[in-house]
């Protein structure tokens, strides 16, 4: 597991101020893009599907913007869009970022001033200033204990950008993503502070009726939305659940 914390910047009034992505993050992103372009030109990537995906990435304006800004992935703009639409990050105190790799949502959270942020993923994530990162499974009791300890209280916001590895079969991919979303919403129901908010990735399709019913029962307002930064051809959208309520199932 990884537990990386660095000093937070302070102004003269003693209040914490959060820095955006570092120059080092931006430089790493630019170097990665440059090296990828060289590999394509030299024929180092021969699989047709891989070449098509990489070329799409290189031509994606959000990928370029993310690299220039120092965000670790274009997904940062999805969270920024969601915040602009629903005010998810306004006055956020304690946040859990489920499936946080490679860390762009955690970067946004720190840049927007969240007080305590815990990110967890099965994959390792490079340190992010001020965030507590865990390499582990959200269903692991030890990982759960570490998360709650680092937050110093119940989370006021739970985010999930988790998605299962795609199989190429749309219905199978949809079902697997809905299962992850159901796991995320159950985590939120079990742990959120009353009045807290939740947001998870879902795929458009017909297998999310139970998920919506569960959110409707436990939150004051539930909406589905596809951010402008989400690729037009992607079936992904986001379920946003606002105002967690005390329920008997808790």
Judge whether 1 lies within some domain: no
At 201 the pLDDT is 93
Same domain, 117 and 219: yes
The last residue of a domain, from among 69, 103, 128: 69
> What would the DSSP string read from start to end of 39-66?
HHHTT----HHHHHHHHHHHH-HHHHHH
Is 170 one of the catalytic residues?
Answer: no
Judge whether 250 lies within some domain: no
pLDDT at 12 over 70: no
Strand partners, 197: 157
Same domain, 92 and 132: yes
pLDDT at 36 over 50: no
Q: Kindly indicate the confidence band of residue 26, based on its pLDDT and cuts at 50, 70 and 90.
A: low
The last residue of a domain, from among 69, 91, 125: 69
At 107 the pLDDT is 98
Question: What is the per-residue pLDDT across 68-109, written as a single tens digit (0 to 9) for each?
Answer: 999 999 999 999 999 999 999 998 899 999 999 999 999 999
Tell me which of 178 and 88 has the higher pLDDT: 88
Same domain, 29 and 144: no
Helix then strand then coil, in percent of the chain rounded to 5, is 40, 20, 40
Active-site hit among 37, 90, 201, 249: 201
Q: Kindly indicate the confidence band of residue 60, based on its pLDDT and cuts at 50, 70 and 90.
A: confident
- In this structure, are residues 235 and 245 in contact, taking their beta carbons and an 8 Å threshold? no
Judge whether 14 lies within some domain: no
Same domain, 58 and 126: no
Share of the chain above pLDDT 90, in %: 60
At 51 the pLDDT is 61
Q: Kindly indicate the confidence band of residue 17, based on its pLDDT and cuts at 50, 70 and 90.
A: very low
Report how far residue 162's alpha carbon sits from residue 42's, in angstroms, rounded to the nearest whole number.
34
Strand partners, 239: 200, 224
Judge whether 208 lies within some domain: yes
Report how far residue 58's alpha carbon sits from residue 78's, in angstroms, rounded to the nearest whole number.
18
Q: What is the mean pLDDT of residues 59-71?
A: 92
Same domain, 198 and 138: yes
Judge whether 122 lies within some domain: yes
Same domain, 207 and 174: yes
Tell me which of 41 and 242 has the higher pLDDT: 242
At 3 the pLDDT is 43
Q: Kindly indicate the confidence band of residue 121, based on its pLDDT and cuts at 50, 70 and 90.
A: very high
Lowest mean pLDDT among 7-16, 21-30, 192-201: 7-16
Judge whether 16 lies within some domain: no
Q: Which residue range(s) make up the domain with 104?
A: 76-244
Report how far residue 219's alpha carbon sits from residue 204's, in angstroms, rounded to the nearest whole number.
21
């Amino acid at each position: 597991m990884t537990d990386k914390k660095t000093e937070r910047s302070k102004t003269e009034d003693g209040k914490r101020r959060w820095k955006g992505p570092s120059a080092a993050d931006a430089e790493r992103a630019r170097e990665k893009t440059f090296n990828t372009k060289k590999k394509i030109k030299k024929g180092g990537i021969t699989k047709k599907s891989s070449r098509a995906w990489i070329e799409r990435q290189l031509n994606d304006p959000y990928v370029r913007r993310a690299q220039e800004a120092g965000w670790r992935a274009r997904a940062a703009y999805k969270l920024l869009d969601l915040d602009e639409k629903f005010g998810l990050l306004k006055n956020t105190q304690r946040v859990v970022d489920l499936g946080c790799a490679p860390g762009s949502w955690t970067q946004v959270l720190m840049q927007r001033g969240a007080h305590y942020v815990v990110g967890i993923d099965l994959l390792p994530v490079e340190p992010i200033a001020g965030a507590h990162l865990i390499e582990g499974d959200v269903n692991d009791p030890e990982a759960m204990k570490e998360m709650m300890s680092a937050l110093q209280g119940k989370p006021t916001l739970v985010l999930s950008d988790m998605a299962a590895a795609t199989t190429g079969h749309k219905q199978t991919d949809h079902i697997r993503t809905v299962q992850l979303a159901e796991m995320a919403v159950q985590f939120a129901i079990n742990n959120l502070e009353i009045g807290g908010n939740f947001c998870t990735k879902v795929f458009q399709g017909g297998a999310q009726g139970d998920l919506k019913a569960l959110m409707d029962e436990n939150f004051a307002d539930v909406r589905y939305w596809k951010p402008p930064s989400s690729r037009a051809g992607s079936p992904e959208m986001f379920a946003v659940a606002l105002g967690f309520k005390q329920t008997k199932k808790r």
